């Protein structure tokens, strides 16, 4: 995505030192609000979200934003905002050294962040990742900076503990309570976070999760289907992204035999995280259900350049996640960008989103009979060329709206304005 500025990143000093990327064409004088973002991981969906938000914030005159990140940050070369690569690296090809680096970074990187806050005289620090495990060890340094603390909460609770769940849950709650403002992507998340951490809803702010644009597909639908060896005469459903058990691919596969004559499923992404099923497990299940010829597995990380093609070749996108899924889905926002309807579960965030904009079908994916009915309904929609509200979705959930709401919260924290009530933060004003 391009901002309104003509930019060319200039890196100084040498690559052997932490670098600050200064964006040419951006006014470098002291802005009304100076914001320092913090991101621990080099990539991931949270990394992409942070990149998109910063890209849109960088076009605003009243915000001077910088990202504190790793030297291996995935979007470093295309960043149209300032970056500082002074955080300690977490990756390594040798497993034990990777684990050691990751553990060390839990303590070292928040301390480095606090130093950067002082150097930049930041007004606000915006956490994209929260090092809750080590929070007691760097909280004092954070408090000493006097900075306002905000965070985007993509997952209210952690799916797995690093060492001790009780301790880590306690520290995560402590961080939430310490923060001056917290951003979430749905009212359901806000309610869940308020209950989980015992905090006032006034500290929570709902901002939309904007769509992800990976560029144009490389060819027409049928050409791409031929390339991947997919049928031209069936509907294609896409199950995309990091595959974890709570995303319920197992449940989807189990209802697929009924539709084998008219539907083909493409499963594209990486599976096999510790404690979760592997692609081999799903392939074995497909064989036992006698649907191997109706499922195509594309195992592994999907490069950004291949994403537009996968959404171009499919008819609809399957998100049959378990009902306890509480995050906003990045996959849903890719589907919306490429105007592909979605089949989603009755997880609260999905219900809330599709109540506002009809971009697909909601079903109880934890129940096999209801999931089957959901598949039937979305296939019927495709067959009848049902008109989904993609343009409305992109307007309501766009990055421009996200940036505007984020800046309003920043301004309120800095004492320059008050926070208004946006429609999506008020359940009574939301469309039925």
User: What pLDDT does residue 287 have?
Assistant: 96
11 pLDDT above the threshold of 50: no
Mean pLDDT of 67-82: 95
Cβ proximity of 185 and 328 under 8 Å = yes
Task: Specify the residue for token string 């350049």.
Answer: 305
Mean pLDDT of 22-35: 58
In this prediction, residue 78 has a pLDDT band, given cuts at 50, 70 and 90, of very high
Mind listing the pLDDT tens digit for each residue in 270-320?
886 777 889 999 999 999 999 999 999 999 889 999 999 999 999 999 999
Mind listing the pLDDT tens digit for each residue in 315-372?
999 999 988 776 678 899 999 999 999 999 988 888 888 999 999 999 999 999 999 9
Distance (Å, rounded) from C-alpha 264 to C-alpha 162? 38
Residues of the chain with pLDDT > 70, as a percent, come to: 88
Q: Show the tokens assigned to 142.
A: 């954070």
Q: Domains for the chain: give ranges and CATH numbers.
A: 9-210+399-425 (3.40.50.2000), 221-394 (3.40.50.2000)
The lowest-confidence range among 43-47, 211-215, 298-302 is 43-47
40 pLDDT above the threshold of 60: yes
What average pLDDT does the structure give for the chain? 87
Mean pLDDT of 45-66: 93
Mean pLDDT of 221-244: 95
Mind listing the pLDDT tens digit for each residue in 163-209?
888 999 999 999 999 999 999 998 889 999 999 999 988 999 999 88
Q: From residue 37, how far is each of 45, 114, 172, 215, 397 by CA, in Å?
A: 16, 11, 19, 26, 22
Which pTM was predicted? 0.82
8 pLDDT above the threshold of 50: no
Which carries the bigger pLDDT value, residue 427 or residue 40? 40
Mind listing the pLDDT tens digit for each residue in 80-91?
999 999 999 999
Dihedral sign computed on CA atoms, order 225, 229, 233, 234 = negative
User: What pLDDT does residue 43 have?
Assistant: 84
Cross-sheet strand order for the sheet of 360-363? 295-299, 263-269, 235-240, 316-319, 342-345, 360-363
6 pLDDT above the threshold of 60: no
Cβ proximity of 57 and 84 under 8 Å = no
402 pLDDT above the threshold of 90: yes
71 pLDDT above the threshold of 90: yes
């Amino acid at each position: 995505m391009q901002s309104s500025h003509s930019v060319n990143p200039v890196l100084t000093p040498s690559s052997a030192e932490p670098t600050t990327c200064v964006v040419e064409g951006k006014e470098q004088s002291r802005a009304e609000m100076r914001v320092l973002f913090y991101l621990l991981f080099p990539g991931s969906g949270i990394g992409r979200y942070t990149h998109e938000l910063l890209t849109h914030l960088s076009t605003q005159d009243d915000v001077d934003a910088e990202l504190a990140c790793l030297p291996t940050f995935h979007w470093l070369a295309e960043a149209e905002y300032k970056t500082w690569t002074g955080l300690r690296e977490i990756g390594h090809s040798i497993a034990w050294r990777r684990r050691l680096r990751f553990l060390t970074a839990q303590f070292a990187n928040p301390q480095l962040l606090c130093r950067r806050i002082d150097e930049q005289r930041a007004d606000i620090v915006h956490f994209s990742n929260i090092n809750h495990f080590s929070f007691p060890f760097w909280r004092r340094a954070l408090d000493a900076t006097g900075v306002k603390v905000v965070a985007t909460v993509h997952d209210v609770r952690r799916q797995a503990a690093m060492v001790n769940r009780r301790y880590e849950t306690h520290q995560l709650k402590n961080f939430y309570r310490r923060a001056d403002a917290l951003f979430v992507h749905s009212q359901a998340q806000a309610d869940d976070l308020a209950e989980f951490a015992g905090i006032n809803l006034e500290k929570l702010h709902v901002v939309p999760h904007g769509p992800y644009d990976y560029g144009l597909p490389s060819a027409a639908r049928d050409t791409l289907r031929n390339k991947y060896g997919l049928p031209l005469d069936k509907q294609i459903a896409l199950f995309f992204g990091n595959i974890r058990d709570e995303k319920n691919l197992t449940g989807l596969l189990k209802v697929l035999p009924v539709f084998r004559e008219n539907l083909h499923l493409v499963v594209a992404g990486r599976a096999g995280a510790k404690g979760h099923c592997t692609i081999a497990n799903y392939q074995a299940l497909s064989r036992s259900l006698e649907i191997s010829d109706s499922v195509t597995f594309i195992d592994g990380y999907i490069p950004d350049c291949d994403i537009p093609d996968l959404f171009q070749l499919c008819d609809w996108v399957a998100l049959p996640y378990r009902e306890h899924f509480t995050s906003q889905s990045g996959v849903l926002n890719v589907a919306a960008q490429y105007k592909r309807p979605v089949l989603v579960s009755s997880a609260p965030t999905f219900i809330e989103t599709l109540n506002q904009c009809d971009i697909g079908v909601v079903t109880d994916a934890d129940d096999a009979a209801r999931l089957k009915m959901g598949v039937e309904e979305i296939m019927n929609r495709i067959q009848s060329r049902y008109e989904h509200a993609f343009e409305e979705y992109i307007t309501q959930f766009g990055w421009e709206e996200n940036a505007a709401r984020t800046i309003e919260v920043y301004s309120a924290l800095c004492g320059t304005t008050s926070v208004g009530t946006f429609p999506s933060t008020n359940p009574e004003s939301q469309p039925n």
